[in-house]
Amino acid sequence: GENVEQHPSTLSVQEGDSAVIKCTYSDSASNYFPWYKQELGKGPQLIIDIRSNVGEKKDQRIAVTLNKTAKHFSLHITETQPEDSAVYFCAAVQIGSEKLVFGKGTKLTVNP
Amino acid sequence: KAGVTQTPRYLIKTRGQQVTLSCSPISGHRSVSWYQQTPGQGLQFLFEYFSETQRNKGNFPGRFSGRQFSNSRSEMNVSTLELGDSALYLCASSTGQAYNSPLHFGNGTRLTVT
């Protein structure tokens, strides 16, 4: 079945720096890759998603890149702010079973 | 528009008991899916309901079950609770199928089994 590996598990950056989180997946047929942000005490919230027909998508300070050949996709956050501190999850579709499989999460800390 | 509402927020149960969790989706969303979140296993898919029918199911024992009502509200039930069932249970609603549509999560129900 689909396996999604997410790295790093923790990431600490200074305010204003960029942060990059990378995920690899195993199902070459996977075609939907969302990213979720989970703040303490809350449920995950979708921040950006990308489908396999595009290689990059941007939304203000957030961008996602997809490399289907290498089977990896990355989240890029520029000009980080303390409110970006949270746990970020990537996910990919397991096509055969039509299930979304999540990575184990990255705890991002942005230091003022 | 109101978000996804889960009740209760916290539950403490004893091994062997059963528990029912409730989820009210965003108005107009017909798909409701459930997830278990633990520090060790992360976010794992339990099941998805659409128009009162279970559309998909994860790899959990039969002790975990769910249902959806005609107003799209959903409940999940766990019978014969085990210590390992302690987790945050999250419900999400979506307009399309849960595996390829944006999910709108509730804030979860924290279940502690003692």
Element (H, E) at B67: strand B64-68
d(CA B94, CA A34): 14
Could you say which of A46, A93, A105 has the minimum Cβ distance to residue B103?
A: A46
Asked if the model's pLDDT at residue A1 lies above 80, the reply is no
pLDDT at position B76 is 98
Phi, psi of B69 (to 5 degrees): -95, 170
Helices and strands (H, E) in chain A, number of each type: 0, 11
The residue-averaged pLDDT of A15-34 equals 96
pLDDT at position A53 is 85
Could you say which of B56, B105, B107 has the minimum Cβ distance to residue A98?
A: B56
Q: Which residues on chain A are in Cβ contact (under 8 Å) with B7?
A: none
Nearest Cα residue to B79 out of B12, B7, B19, B10: B19
Phi, psi of B83 (to 5 degrees): -55, -35
- Express each pLDDT in B32-49 by its tens digit: 999 999 998 999 999 999
Could you say which of A31, A46, A103 has the minimum Cβ distance to residue B102?
A: A46
Nearest Cα residue to A105 out of A55, A32, A50, A36: A36
pLDDT at position B2 is 83
**SS3 state at A84:** helix
- Express each pLDDT in A25-73 by its tens digit: 999 899 999 999 999 999 999 999 999 888 999 999 999 999 999 999 9
Q: Which residues on chain A are in Cβ contact (under 8 Å) with B106?
A: 43
The residue-averaged pLDDT of A9-17 equals 98
Confidence of residue A110 (pLDDT cuts 50, 70, 90): very high
The residue-averaged pLDDT of A10-36 equals 96
Q: Which residues on chain B are in Cβ contact (under 8 Å) with A46?
A: 102-104
Instruction: State the best of A31, A100, A102 to mutate against chain B, taking most chain B CBs within 10 Å.
Output: A100
pLDDT at position A54 is 87
Instruction: State the best of B7, B9, B43, B91 to mutate against chain A, taking most chain A CBs within 10 Å.
Output: B43
pLDDT at position A2 is 76
Average pLDDT taken over every residue of chain A: 95
pLDDT at position B1 is 74
User: Which residues, in sequence order, are CB contacts of A2 under 8 Å at separation 6+?
Assistant: A25, A26, A27, A30, A92, A93, A94, A95, A97, A99, A101
pLDDT at position A13 is 98
d(CA B55, CA B10): 28
Could you say which of B45, B102, B106 has the minimum Cβ distance to residue A43?
A: B106
DSSP A107: E
Checking DSSP bridges between strand B74-78 and strand B64-68, what pairing results, if any? antiparallel
Asked if the model's pLDDT at residue A9 lies above 80, the reply is yes
Q: In the A/B pair of chains, how many CB contacts fall below 8 A?
A: 52
Cβ within 8 Å, pair A89-B43? yes
DSSP string, B3-55: --EEE-SEEEE-TT--EEEEEEPPTT--EEEEEEEETTTEEEEEEEEETTEEE
**Average pLDDT by stretches of 10, chain B with 114 residues:** 93 98 96 96 95 94 97 97 98 94 97 98
